[in-house]
Every structure is written in C-alpha cells, then in structure tokens.
Amino acid sequence: EKGTYPHYMLKEIDEQPYVIRKIIQEYTDSTHRLKIDEKISKAIQQADRIYIIAAGTSYHAGLVGKQLIEKLAEVPVEVHIASEFSYNMPLLSENPFFIFISQSGETADSRAVLVQTKALGYPALTITNVPGSTLSREADYTLLLHAGPEIAVASTKAYSAQIAVIAILANDLAEQKGCNISFDLDHEMSLVANAIEMLASQKEEIESIAASIFHKSRNAFFIGRGIDYFVMQEAALKLKEISYIQAEGFAGGELKHGTIALIEEGTPVIALATQENVNLSVRGNVQEVAARGANTCIVSMKGLNKSGDAIVLPEVHELLTPLVSVIPMQLLAYYAALHRNCDVDKPRNLAKSVTVE
C-alpha cells in the first residue's frame, strides 16, 4: 500500500536506502562478509565471458553491472538488449555465462533469449525481484533483489537493487579469483544508503529545479561520460516514460558529432559529473551547449563540484556512484510528470511487465 504517499513511484524512490540495507543483510554470510551462493560464483568462474541480457531499466542496470564486473573481477562482459539479441545473436565466446536481469522475471524478450541459450546448453543466472518467476524457474541460478513489490510502472528501487546485487556478485568473483581489490563493499554500501537518504530529503529543491528546467519543454538531453553516461540513459528513460518529454541520454563527447544541432534557446541539458577523469570534459560539453542557449543543470559529486552546480551528491566510492546519482534523476522525472498532471504510476501505453515479444 502506498500509505501517505501520493504515488507508488515516490514511495519506491524513498524505499531505496532501506532496500540497499536489506540487500546487505540478505547477502551477509555467517562470517559477516558479503557473499553470494558458492555454486553461483563457481559456475561463473568457468566462464571466459559474461553476457548480460535485459530490457529497459534493467538493461541500464546491466550497463553499470558491466563496469562493476570488469573493474572488480576482471571478466569481460557484454550487455545486450534482449529483443535484439534474440534474432541477432553475436558470435559467442567459448565458455559464455548468461545473466538475465529482470525486475518482474516475466519479460518475454528476455525469456526468448533464455530459451535459446538453454537450448545451446549455456549456464544462466537470473537476477530478479520475483521468486518463482518464469526467468527464475527456467535459469540454473537465481539471485533475488529483495526490493519488495515494485508497483509503479517506472522502475526505481529495482534498478538500485539490481546494481547493488551485481556489485556484491562482482566483489565476490573478485575475491574468489584473488583479484587485488581495495574495497570494503559492506562499508561502502552503507555509505551509499546514507547518501540516498540525504538526497531523498532534498525533494523541495529538486522539485523546484524540475519546475524551472522542464517547464513547457518538449525535449531534454541528459549527458555524461563513462558510468555517468549509463545513468543518464536511465534518467532519460525515466523522464520520457512518465512525463512524455522526449529525452535522450547522451555521451558528452558525442554531442558535437551531430546532436548539438538540436540545441536551441531553452533546451534543457542536464549533466552528470561524478568521475574525476571526465569531470572537466563534461563541464566543457556543458559550456558548448550553454553557448548555444541551452538551459543547463549540473549534478556533481562532492569533491568535484564547482560553484553554480544545481545538485551536489554526497561522496561515495566511484564505482557505486550510480546508486546515488540516479536518485535526483528519478525525482526530476517524478516532479516533471507531476507538474504536467501526468498519471505518474500508470503512464500511457505502458504495462508493468511486458509479457509479449
């Protein structure tokens, strides 16, 4: 039930610190370490390449998941949109391992791929919020999100839960492989939960930013580089599905290769800067669009922030920033939709789970 909340989406955004803490608890073993089932990490260790298959928001979580697995566990990962993979299968490595990410566990496009890869005899893990769901039953292994039911069509807490569970998986694989990781995931994740809590208490500020940048706009750009680019793809999806503003998540450096032609007086451009190595170049992209009249808004991480930034995120580990940076993006989308009197929880033309291919 949504209790005192006007919408499930807002309630589910607010639940994210709790979900992160719940995941830490569920995945802590008797030796007080974050672990996943040994059978799963053993099976993945046999693989020379991981293929992540998903749709929509879960696909965006997969993009972040690739970074986590490659950076921590040093296993190559490919991320594929389920509906593309099913009829256009890439050349696979010798020993592939498939990870299906699906909040509902019922997405037909993802299931179609699972049926194909099972027929080829490849092992599969499903990361889902729903125990006993089709994708969970049909895969060899399951990792649960423990996010509680997600009712709003726009996925929020499931995205965070997916990234958190993959972070634990990546960390576990890295430990098993003996990779050199200087990372206390348990501690870093609790910092993340606190940071989300802080941001969720800045709703009024975020609401007024949404009102000023999306007021009457028909389109918007969300730019970032590296891991921030992945989060901005999710930010754009969130905005378009509930507010019907046409939005695009874009790699900052790619704008000048065509898309910058779309920038005109007042076009909203939201930029994300959480990574030191791309902070200045993203800010350079903001200057380029501002010079062409864009209405810009920078969201940065503490330590990298500059005066004039609209939102400063509390500092967390650089690989876990998506868990924090996505919060203002979810809230911006929520308030943009609210101000346009859109049906936030049940946007037009969409269903919570897409059970047709």
| Sites of contact with ligand M6R (CB under 6 A) | 55-58, 102-104, 107, 110, 153-155, 237, 241, 350, 353-354
We find the least distance from the C-beta atom of residue 21 to ligand M6R, in angstroms, to be 22
The Cα–Cα gap between 156 and 148 comes to 12
- Please give the single-letter amino acid code of residue 129: N
We find the least distance from the C-beta atom of residue 273 to ligand M6R, in angstroms, to be 24
We find the least distance from the C-beta atom of residue 154 to ligand M6R, in angstroms, to be 4
* Maximum pairwise Cα distance, the chain: 58
Give the helix, strand, coil percentages of the chain, each rounded to 5.
50, 15, 35
By C-beta, is 104 or 325 nearer to ligand M6R?
104
Selected catalytic residue, list 2, 118, 346, 352: 352
313 close to 306: Cβ distance less than 8 angstroms = no
State CA 310 to chain mean position distance.
Answer: 21
Nearest to 171 by CA among 54, 36, 45: 36
308 close to 207: Cβ distance less than 8 angstroms = no
Q: In what order do the strands lie in the sheet with 311-313?
A: 246-251, 219-224, 268-273, 295-301, 311-313
The Cα–Cα gap between 138 and 124 comes to 9
By C-beta, is 103 or 279 nearer to ligand M6R?
103
By C-beta, is 31 or 349 nearer to ligand M6R?
349
The Cα–Cα gap between 120 and 179 comes to 31
Name the residue with the smallest CB distance to ligand M6R: 56
By C-beta, is 126 or 267 nearer to ligand M6R?
126
We find the least distance from the C-beta atom of residue 168 to ligand M6R, in angstroms, to be 18
Q: Is 11 a catalytic residue?
A: no
We find the least distance from the C-beta atom of residue 103 to ligand M6R, in angstroms, to be 3
Just list the catalytic residues.
Answer: 352
